[in-house]
Structures are given as C-alpha cells and as structure tokens.
Amino acid sequence: MKDIVIIGAGVIGCSIARELSKYNLDICVVDKNNDVAEGISKGNSGIVHAGYNEKENTLKAKLNLEGNYLFDGLAKRLDFPFKRNGALILAFSEDEMKRVHELKANGDKLGVPALEVLNKDEVLSLEKNISSKVVGALYAKSSAIVNPYEMTIALGENASENGVEFKLGYKVIDIKKEDRGFKLIFENKETINTNIVINAAGLYGAFINNLVNEEKYEINPLKGEYCLFDKVAGGICKRTLFQVPSKLSKGVLVTPTVDGNLLLGPNARLDENATTSREGIDEIIENGSKTIEDLPLNRILTAFSGIRPKTDIDDFIIKSSKDNPNFINVIGIDSPGLTSAPAIGKYVASLVSDIVNLTEKDNFKENRKGILRFSELNIEEKNEVIKENSSYGKMVCKCELVTEGEIIDSIKRPLGATTVDGVKRRTRAMMGGCQGIGCMLTIANILSRELGISISDIKKNNESSVVVGYKED
C-alpha cells in the first residue's frame, strides 16, 4: 500500500514528486511513457513567464508569480540551464500600444516586478533586429528561459534520489475505489494500491479523473507548432520577443533558447495530433516575420509541435475531488504551467497535508548535480577529465560536441536514458546540424552495451520505434 501515487511524469508530476520527497512518505510516480518528460513537457517553448497577462484571483496568477520567483534557487540547486533574459511584448499599432499599457496595469496590480513601457527607439536600442514597424513594447525583466525537459529530468532525478519510486511504461486503464484508498490497474495487468492519488496526467487528466469521480472534466487539446533554428541564428535576439497576446494564446514568439538556438512559434489550433503541417509552419513564419522581418529560414533545423491541455475552466484545476477527498486533481495545466510548476509542487503538498500528517525527512538531498558538459570545459579541465575517464576523449556527436562519457553518464544516472531520444534530451546529442545522421547508430550501440540488451531492442522513443530493423506486431 503506497501513501501516494502520482500519475504523470512530466514537469508537473516531477515537481510534485520532488516537493513531497521532502517528507516521510512512500511515493510512486507512474507514467504510460518509458521516460520522464515524454508528453507535454518535451514540446514546450521553455518560457518562464513574468505573469502580466493573468487574471486577478486565479491560481494561474498566483502560481505564475510564485513559480517565477522560485526558479533561480531551484535551477542552482538542481543544476539545470536557466537564464533571466527578459521579454518584450511588442506593439505594431497605437491600438496595440493601448493593450500594452493595459498589460502593464494588470501586471502592476498582480505584483509582477520590473515592468516598463518602452517607446520605439528604446525597443530598437535593446533589440536591433526587431522590425522598424514596431511602435513600442512592454519590457518584462523577470521573464526567463529554461530547457523544459532538462528541468523535468532534474526534478525527477532528485525525487528518485530522495526515495520516490518511478514506474515508467505503466499505463493506467482503470481506478477502483477501495475501503482504504484506491487500486490502480495498469495495461500490463499489474495493480498498485494507494491511500492518495495525485492526477497530473496532462492530456489524459480528464480521462483519469473520470474513471473514479462523479464530477467530470473534458480536456481540449490545443496544439502549437514550432520551428527550431540552429545556433548561427541564435544571436538574432537576446530577449524573448512576444506580440500582443490574443484571448486564445500568448501568440507567436521569437526567442533564444538556453542552449543557444532560436525558437519560433507557437500557433494555436484545437488538435490532439502532435504532428506538424506545412500550413501551420507557414503560419508561424508569417506571424514571426512581423517581429523580425528577415528570419534566416535557411537555418531551420527542425519543426515540432506541443499540445496544451486546455479545459473550459479558464484556470488551473488543482483540488481534491468532491466525492473522493484523497484524489487530488492537477489538470488543465496549460500556459503558464511550466512557470508555475515549482509553486504547484508546494501547493499540492499543502493539499496533501490536509489529508495526512507530513513529517520532514532528516536526510533530504536538496541538491542534484547535472551531467558534465565536456564542451564547456577549458583545455586543462578536459585533459584532467580524460585522464580520469578515457570515454570523455571519444567524441560521439560532432555537431554538439558530446562525448561517450556524457552518454554513458546519461544512461547510468537515476532515471537513466533507455532510448535514443532519452540520451538526446539529457545530453543534446543528435540536436545539431545533422539531426542524428552521424551519431544515432553509435548511440544505439552504446545503449545496447550499457543496458545489456540487443541493439535490435533499442528504441528511438516508443515501443514501435526501433532504431535498427523493424518490429513486427
């Protein structure tokens, strides 16, 4: 009998798991995917929003502001990339400038720090590549950027180091109410009994809730498509460049990433199919060209999409079920969900404390050390690392300068990579110009060797995506 089962190993589930791992609890995280950050969290723009656009007296407003504040300390303790680069919300007409002033007033009312309205000359002095048609902007200095899946992995690893069990590849197909708590039934016929369920299942949050609770929800999947440019294009802007937001989304943005690339997107379409389309990519390029007229389209590396779990309720749903108080829903976590994640972890812990008595561990490990980035070392440091471990002297990904030592580390760590994409998200191997053509097979061979399984069983991501050969049904 577990104390708590968290359904979902995305940034929200892992944030909750890490926060609850501070206490003497028997916790398990389950996810239908074979790795953390395989769902919504990997298709995310990585923006830590300032919070000026949220509505007063909502959880989104409260947790956005609190979460943003927590990032500096969390990134330092868990050793994941994070940068406060600031954001400009650009106006291209006098009507849009009125909206900029409204956003400033709203942000001031909510307590968002360091907001400033800029005129055209002030905007262009900060970002010279912005279109000369710009009229002015709101400057949100507390806005930041983060790598969403590296953050999720860091949270998950730290939770694991603090005793949280992870069952990945476990798809919940039913939940039964028991005399004491709940029984979770998985697709593989296994079961887990638990006192408390925390539903952080992302796009499947409504399905999980509706299995056992009388109050029903519906998720409306909102797809956003992106273009990722290479690092040559990464210097076009220093800050995140928004346009004045619409009611449906915060609009198409142009932003540097923490890894040095340039990101363009997203659009917003009600669609549960996580594919990209020519029409969608053309749409974000057209809208992005309003911000920067001469986007270097020849530097696009790849396109991808992410899906946000919107509900008809214009706020996060984070509460115990009316008919099952030990069932805590954390659903409808669309934007600013990533920003709010650290605060959501604390908020859910407070809900858990209303159900059980929480006692703090004496041996909680607050810090986590990330994977060594060999390319960031100076020559003396590189020689010393190679002297200690020769695998760091073998370059595997020549585009991103990732060594065999880093790949082995990504496999051997807590919640280590078991797929090629798992290695990619942890090390950036295959994220350069060749997109894995030059190193995918080598990485698959390393996975095969380190995991002790046949290379024909190595997957790119899911069960059907074998790297070598094919897999019959």
**Catalytic residue annotation:** 49
Q: How far apart are the first and last CA of the chain?
A: 35
Q: Which amino acid is at 4?
A: I
Query: Exposure of 439 by Cβ count < 10 A (0-12 exposed, 13-18 middle, 19+ buried)?
Result: buried
R_g of the chain, CA atoms, integer Å: 22
**Peptide bond between residue 336 and the one before it cis (omega within 30 degrees of 0):** yes
Residue in 168, 196, 170, 172 with CA at minimum distance from that of residue 182: 196
Q: Which residues contact 361 (CB under 8 A, 6 or more apart)?
A: 21, 22, 23, 24, 162
Counting other chains too, the contacts that 282-289 makes at CB distance below 8 Å and 24 or more residues apart are: 283/225, 284/225, 284/226, 284/227, 284/252, 285/227, 287/243, 287/251, 287/252, 288/227, 288/252, 288/254, 288/264
The β-bridge partners of 194 are 2, 182
Neighbours of 3 (CB within 10 A): 18
Task: Report strand pairing: 2-7 vs 253-256.
Answer: unpaired
Q: What does the longest C-alpha to C-alpha distance in the chain come to? A: 67
